[in-house]
Structure 1
């Protein structure tokens, strides 16, 4: 049995189930007499959706008929489908689904912050699709804080990497790393072409960095993925770290990026940075510790890469 043959029975059952839960009163219709179904009748769904009774009957029977996005939207409104159910209807009817564009998230929940804090001693942060840094744990701040970014005023990875002078940049091999990151950014940009926030972001960074403008004009695309990167820190030297991206339910186009030491030198380097932090913010100083832990997700001390 092919995919279409499997989906049609699922589509039929899904529509029947959703129709049964919508009462005539829900859509402003009188209940009528001798109603054998707990919800709407097929002809009522067809009437309210502006489609033929025969066509809707065939759709609900799972027959191989074509459905347009406009018609599916009308049926979805009649059946009071939420966004997840509407997307499911599209998939079962084998019609391409385009979700409404969403602005990149700018905050994280306490639960997500707790998760990345629990990854200590591994550096971890939450990025949205524009590489805005929404949250970070203390090891991330230990490794990636760049003092020059205080003057930039933009809590964003790419702004840091493209505008901070080479000696102060935490990424060692910028010539190989930056093209990959720009290609990842462009793969996300395809879902947001024309949106003012995205266009302003691209235009502003292009003006701030000719190197970014040149890479952006190249048009390469690449999805996020695990990579080994080399970073530098004035206190411990170069550290090889493997980055892994994890998606976050309920936060579209956001990901947790965690860094794992790639060798013993990197592991020891992170331990040294942790010891430095604990000397600066010992447990005996609760006020200082609380202040560090309660930084705004967009605070400059969460900047990095």
Structure 2
């Protein structure tokens, strides 16, 4: 059943391809690319590719599926579906750098008047935030892009450290979650420079990193000493951004309704 479903998917995607996109011309009796053309682009045997479209030959390797995905110009969602049909599992994560978020996601963040919210990458660079986050957490817009990294901020900013009720616990959890995020998204090699930088700059980071702890971020609580709001308690939840393994949404909810209302007022004053 899986082989026949994979065969149907491959035939469907092949016939949707426009030969002109690949610089191919001439009259064709059927739409899309020919099987041998896909095989050539994927650098695999035409016979092997034909067998895949016929539901024969056994399960393809991950390398073959990746080659076919590139040859057919599949989207990331289509590539994942191809792997689920061919191997019964998603492909290994491929890390890509991120410059920002979609306007739709930013509008969602901006609607959260009482809840500070940020979007961070798997390397913990903050790429989006709302006004409430600017007030409660940090004014990321005033920081150079290279300094909008949560770990750099946590380990290299004395003012932020002083605001944390239990800095040691937060630091330990952050490093453990950071390590898990990077591994899950296939970004282990990309974090090496940051880890080396922080290890040299902070004895605390070097000490905690060496413990090799792993933690999956989900939900939790933190207490902050805020210059305008006083001591405040926040609950936080982490959410995956649909279709983006490289992004994570963090929403902080004030426990005290009065604090939430005060944050709303400060947000309105800035608009």
TM bin, normalised by shorter chain, reads 0.7 to 0.9
**For 2:189, what is the secondary structure of its paired residue?**
coil
Mark the CA change 1:213 to 1:89 in structure 2 (over 3 Å): closer, same or farther.
same
Q: Is the 8 A contact 1:161 1:169 kept in 2?
A: no
Correspondence for 2:125: 132
Partners of 1:132 and 1:43 in 2: CA distance: 44
Aligned: 1:183 with 2:161: no
Correspondence for 1:101: 95
Aligned: 1:85 with 2:78: yes
Partners of 1:183 and 1:168 in 2: CA distance: 18
Structure showing greater radius of gyration is: 1
Mark the CA change 1:260 to 1:204 in structure 2 (over 3 Å): closer, same or farther.
same
Mark the CA change 1:130 to 1:38 in structure 2 (over 3 Å): closer, same or farther.
closer
Correspondence for 1:256: 249
Correspondence for 1:15: 10
Once the two structures are TM-superposed, the CA of residue 187 in structure 1 deviates from its matched residue by: 1.2
Aligned: 1:270 with 2:265: no
Mark the CA change 1:24 to 1:132 in structure 2 (over 3 Å): closer, same or farther.
closer
Greater CA deviation, 63-72 or 10-19?
Answer: 63-72
Mark the CA change 1:98 to 1:29 in structure 2 (over 3 Å): closer, same or farther.
farther
Correspondence for 2:212: 219
Normalised by the size of structure 1, how large is the TM-score? 0.71
Q: 1:62-95: per-residue Cα shift (whole Å, max 9, x none)?
A: 2361323443344445544344433332332117
Once the two structures are TM-superposed, the CA of residue 14 in structure 1 deviates from its matched residue by: 0.3
Mark the CA change 1:41 to 1:165 in structure 2 (over 3 Å): closer, same or farther.
closer
Normalised by the size of structure 2, how large is the TM-score? 0.79
Q: Is the 8 A contact 2:155 2:161 kept in 1?
A: no
Partners of 1:154 and 1:52 in 2: CA distance: 49
Q: Is the 8 A contact 2:218 2:239 kept in 1?
A: no
Correspondence for 2:24: 28
Structure 1: 5+ residue stretches without partners: 282-288, 294-305
**For 1:253, what is the secondary structure of its paired residue?**
strand
Correspondence for 2:136: 143
Number of residues of Structure 1 aligned to a counterpart in Structure 2: 264
Structure 2: 5+ residue stretches without partners: none
Structure showing greater relative contact order (alpha-carbon pairs closer than 8 Å, 6 or more residues apart) = 1
Once the two structures are TM-superposed, the CA of residue 124 in structure 1 deviates from its matched residue by: 1.5
